[in-house]
A = this chain, B = another copy of it.
Amino acid sequence: MDKKALMDKVEWIFVNQMPYNQFLGISVAVLNAERAEIVLPWKDEFIGNPTQKILHGGVISAVLDNVGGMLAAASIIDKLPDSELHTVPSKLATLGTIDIRTDFIRPGRGDSFVASAQLIRSGNKVCVCRMELHNDEGVQIAFGTATYLVG
């Protein structure tokens, strides 16, 4: 598989092969070595408040973690020479989140949401991503910072 096909596979795994992500119902809008974007349509099961229709913080952390992890995977693929692309599956198998910080800025209100990630540190062993969550009106709801093991 070439790099494009491997990135498509990463996208497919995140969307279709992880039961929790299937519960979330995410889709991928952008995935390349510089940027990842995930779309999360509203579901009533996401409500985390007894009286208001707003996202539970755990849903927000989950989608931020997903978009950062997807970008970390894309960066692994992007940095490998073609001759080593066969190592991608074993590298992805060990990809994992070490830690994540989520800053909740505003109540998670909206009909759908976009989570985006950019890489701020890209090493051989560790990647760090900054993530943002906006609703469909462009209002920013959360920030995140996560460190991924990629080695």
- List, in ascending order, chain B residues with CB within 8 A of A45's CB: 19-20, 22-23
Per the bound structure, the CA–CA distance linking A22 and B58 in Å amounts to: 13
- List, in ascending order, chain B residues with CB within 8 A of A66's CB: 58
Per the bound structure, the CA–CA distance linking A125 and B24 in Å amounts to: 31
- List, in ascending order, chain B residues with CB within 8 A of A121's CB: 98, 103, 105-106
Per assembly, the copies of the chain total 4
Kindly name the residue among A50, A99, A106, A147 whose own CB sees the greatest number of chain B CB atoms within 10 A. Answer: A99
A48, CB-defined interface residue at 8 Å: yes
Interface of chain A, helix or strand or loop or mixed? mixed
Per the bound structure, the CA–CA distance linking A121 and B96 in Å amounts to: 13
Per the bound structure, the CA–CA distance linking A104 and B24 in Å amounts to: 21
Q: Is the CB of B65 within 8 A of A17?
A: no
Per the bound structure, the CA–CA distance linking A93 and B49 in Å amounts to: 9
A29, CB-defined interface residue at 8 Å: no
* Nearest CB on B from A128, distance (A): 5
